[in-house]
């Protein structure tokens, strides 16, 4: 991963140092489990816990000869031990250690990601409540439609992130798992009790059945879930980018003193943060294809998934961690312009109230077709001639014969469209 997009805690989790530390944690737990079963002397298991060490550079030296990272690791660890070294890696195969340690590291990564998601949800809740009554125009197909509020827009994001949290918890539990069942998953040389004890000690689940490796559909589901969360961030960021356009300018990423938007144009203030996470979402989705292709392995395993996972698991978790953190900062510092939001509602000459007028005419006794055909030519006239819609309505005798001035006034009141905002917020648990 690029250092530019790697936050320190996640970077440490996926460091080579932590990889070997996780392998060692598994190896120690295996020996302690054997000791409980009476296979390994308790004193030897205690010596292994007290004295087992590894050296990253030394492992690299050994691997240059063995061309096998686990063999290099176990030989290096054995160099730090006495006669008890014979119990290192006893009864297990490489992937018993690698996959179980990976489940352990994913648990560490998931703790970071879950905290990121929870933080973003809290920020969205605060913004939704702050701007609950801040009226703005809703847009469909990029065209002004009817009034809504900025708080409702944010509330939709809040609901989506709540769903993402549920998805994440389910998918994360799937990969926070281990297996210590031997070369083809039969427990031939290591009993299930060892697997159970090791996984319990590491705080992960024991996978009910495995081959030499854990089933990779778990990891495909997990990476796809991370990509979906990243896609949500892209969705939100795209909205901010659109609302920051000069022609709309209803929100703006905060621009710090001394910040520069362009090397050529001094006036530029660009939504670079939102653009950044949009681009990273594309990279994140790219990891899903690889995760899916890793599911299909030969027989009880091959190693084709290994090289790919060394890239996509650190990459997907690291990218999402960065995206969640950066987007949360964007929202926390977002500049919002309520007066511009209200002013933009009038840029289409009051046409945003056409449906309300249509419904009032239907209530007055007209058929829907007749009411529609009465209102639409007036909307076209207002748009084509750049005239206010309401005076054209008030000058139309067919309409005034059916609607009183008070009814017309009510049709052009944006508050009507917002009368159920509180009810929607209550449905989301944002209001009591």
Residue 191 is part of which domain span?
91-342
Which residue of the set 141, 246, 263, 299 is catalytic?
Answer: 141
| Residue 4 DSSP one-character state | G
> Which pairing describes strands 335-336 and 251-252: parallel, antiparallel, or unpaired?
antiparallel
- In a shared domain, residues 71 and 109: no
C-beta separation of 1 from 314 below 8 A: yes
- In a shared domain, residues 73 and 116: no
Quote the number of domains for the chain. 3
- In a shared domain, residues 201 and 57: no
- In a shared domain, residues 220 and 316: yes
Helix (H, G, I), strand (E, B) or coil at 139: strand
What pLDDT is stored for residue 182 in this prediction? 97
* CATH code, domain with 377: 1.10.40.30
Phi, psi of 100, rounded to the nearest 5 degrees: -65, -40
- In a shared domain, residues 71 and 155: no
- In a shared domain, residues 289 and 158: yes
Domain termination site, one of 45, 60, 90: 90
Which residue of the set 68, 254, 262, 415 is catalytic?
Answer: 262
Tokens representing 426 are 């209550």
- In a shared domain, residues 175 and 293: yes
For helices 56-66 and 69-78, the axis angle rounded to 10 degrees is 130
Instruction: Answer whether residue 245 is part of any domain.
Output: yes
What pLDDT is stored for residue 324 in this prediction? 99
* CATH code, domain with 1: 1.10.275.10
pTM exceeding 0.85? yes
Catalytic residue at 205? no
What pLDDT is stored for residue 263 in this prediction? 85
What pLDDT is stored for residue 1 in this prediction? 66
- In a shared domain, residues 36 and 11: yes
DSSP per-residue codes, 211-225: SSS--THHHHHHHHH
Tokens representing 359 are 């419904």
Maximum CA extent, the chain = 104
Catalytic residue at 141? yes
Mean pLDDT per 10-residue segment, the chain (432 residues)? 92 98 99 98 98 98 98 98 98 98 99 99 99 98 98 99 99 99 98 99 98 98 99 98 97 91 88 96 98 97 95 98 98 98 97 98 97 98 98 98 98 98 98 96
């Amino acid at each position: 991963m690029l250092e530019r997009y790697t936050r320190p805690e996640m970077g440490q989790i996926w460091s080579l140092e932590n990889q070997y530390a996780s392998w060692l944690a598994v190896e120690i737990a295996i020996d302690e489990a054997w000791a409980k079963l009476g296979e390994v002397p308790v004193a030897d298991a205690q010596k292994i816990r007290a004295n087992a060490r590894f050296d990253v550079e030394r492992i690299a030296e050994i691997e240059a000869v063995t061309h096998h990272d686990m063999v290099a690791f176990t030989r290096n660890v054995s160099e730090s031990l006495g006669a008890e070294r014979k119990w290192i890696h006893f009864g297990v195969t490489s992937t018993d250690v690698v996959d179980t340690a990976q489940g352990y590291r994913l648990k560490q990564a998931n703790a970071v990601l879950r905290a990121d998601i929870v933080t973003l949800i809290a920020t969205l809740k605060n913004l939704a409540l702050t701007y609950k009554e801040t009226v703005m125009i809703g847009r469909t197909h990029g065209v002004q439609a009817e009034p809504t509020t900025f708080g409702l827009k944010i509330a939709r994001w809040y609901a989506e992130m709540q769903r993402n949290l549920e998805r994440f918890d389910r998918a994360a539990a799937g990969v926070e798992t281990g297996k210590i069942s031997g070369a083809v998953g039969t427990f031939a040389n290591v009993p299930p009790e060892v697997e159970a004890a090791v996984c319990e000690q590491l705080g992960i689940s024991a996978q009910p059945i495995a081959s030499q490796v854990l089933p990779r559909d778990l990891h495909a589901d997990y990476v796809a879930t991370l990509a979906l969360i990243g896609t949500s961030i892209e969705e939100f960021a795209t909205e901010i980018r659109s609302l920051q356009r000069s022609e709309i300018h209803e929100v703006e990423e905060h621009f710090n003193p001394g910040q520069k938007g362009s090397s050529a144009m001094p006036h530029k203030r660009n939504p670079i943060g939102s653009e950044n996470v949009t681009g990273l979402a594309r990279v994140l989705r790219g990891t899903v294809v690889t995760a899916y292709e890793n599911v299909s392995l030969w027989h009880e395993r091959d190693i084709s998934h290994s090289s790919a996972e060394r890239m996509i698991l650190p990459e997907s978790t690291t990218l999402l961690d960065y995206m969640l953190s950066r987007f949360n900062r964007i929202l926390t510092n977002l500049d919002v312009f309520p007066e511009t939001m209200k002013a933009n509602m009038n840029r289409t000459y009051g046409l945003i109230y056409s449906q309300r007028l249509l419904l009032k005419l239907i209530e007055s006794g007209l058929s829907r077709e007749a009411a529609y055909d009465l209102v639409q030519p007036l909307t076209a006239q207002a748009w084509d001639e750049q005239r206010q819609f309401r005076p054209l309505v008030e000058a139309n005798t067919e309409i005034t014969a059916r609607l009183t001035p008070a009814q017309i006034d009510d049709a052009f009141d944006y508050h009507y469209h917002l009368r159920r905002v509180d009810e929607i917020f209550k449905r989301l648990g944002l209001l009591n």
